[in-house]
Homo-oligomer: A and B are copies of this chain.
Amino acid sequence: MVRIGMDVGGTGIQMGVVSDKGEILEKGAVVTRTDLPFSEQITQMAECALDTLKRSGHTLDDLRSVGAGVPGVADQRTGVIPLCTNLGWHHVPFREEMGKHFPGKPICIDNDATVAGLAESVAGVSAGTSSSVFITLGTGVGGGIVIGGKVWSGAHGIGSEIGHMTLELDGEPCTCGNRGCLERYCSATAIIRMARERLDFYPDSLIRESCGGDASKINARMVFDAARQGDPLGEKVFRRYVIYLSQAINTITAILDPEMFVLGGGVSKAGDFLLDAVRAEVPKYALFKDAFPLPRIELARLGTDAGIIGAAMLQ
């Protein structure tokens, strides 16, 4: 049997026919069309999926399920997507619409970070663990929780929204309406903000050079690259970033105590530079120091394929 996994993004929708072991057998893609009504967009996705299935040498009889990861909130129980800002989707009955093209097949949905976390736990770095928390460090911060081998996305589909745990009371205002959310301190956006706010105090910073003196051109990579080279501003921002992330890992450990944390998303491309710093910082906040094993912390392994593989494994 095979599965279809769809990774729904703001500009494109990647999909694949995936084996039960999590191997991608064949790929396809359609352009995201926010100008179309959702039913037409879903029809285009389904047609591409059926074509990809055929190209993989399989038929509908071989198909176990269809899954999709979306950059928004997905209700696994009802199959409705209440909110997916990038696609302009509000209360879209995804399961019902997609189901028309795959009669009798289970249609599963979940948040894209959750799906990536599931992929890692099936075919990536956290394979073999019974519990893991995946943290995507990108433009925003997302999360994916796997407990007992199964995704946990909460009673109302808004669980694992790790980016919106409160890290600092009365802290930075967040797009979600609250203040002090983790996303305000651990996203690429936060790295850029922290560097910009301090740039005037570091006239000799390498970051000033990389951005040509135009603070609006600073990106997260420039800041971390500067830190790597010992630039004081870069190091300052990087240190704050690592402290914030480590405290968040501590809070999640106090609540969930997972076997492993997996760091993914654009910022995690800093690789061992980031991983080593976080691994050194987290033990400082460990509960009952020395009495218990620390959570393992690893980098995500699957890269951009995680969205397709995880979506396929939702069933």
Q: Which residues of A contact B (CB under 8 A)?
A: 73, 82-83, 129-131, 143, 145, 147, 152-169, 176-178, 243-244, 247-248, 250-259, 285, 287-289, 291-293, 295
Contact = CB atoms under 8 A, between A and B. Distances in A.
A85 B257 CA distance: 21
A288 B90 CA distance: 12
Given A166-B250, A167-B169, 18 more contacts: A73-B291, A147-B147, A147-B152, A157-B292, A158-B253, A158-B257, A159-B253, A159-B257, A161-B255, A165-B250, A166-B247, A166-B254, A166-B285, A168-B169, A169-B244, A169-B247, A178-B285, A255-B256
B165 A254 contact: yes
20 contacts: A73-B288, A73-B291, A82-B291, A131-B154, A145-B256, A147-B147, A154-B253, A155-B258, A156-B257, A159-B253, A159-B255, A159-B257, A162-B255, A165-B251, A166-B250, A166-B251, A169-B243, A177-B289, A178-B287, A252-B255
A156 B129 CA distance: 12
A256 B287 contact: no
Contacts of A73: 288, 291-292
A257 B157 contact: yes
A250, A285, A287, A289: most-surrounded residue (chain B CB, <10 A): A287
Given A287-B164, A288-B73, A178 B255 contact: no
A263 B37 CA distance: 45
A253 B247 CA distance: 18
A28 to B, nearest CB: 31
Contacts of A152: 147, 256
A145, A167, A257, A285: most-surrounded residue (chain B CB, <10 A): A257
Given A285-B166, A291-B83, A256 B156 contact: no
B130 A155 contact: yes
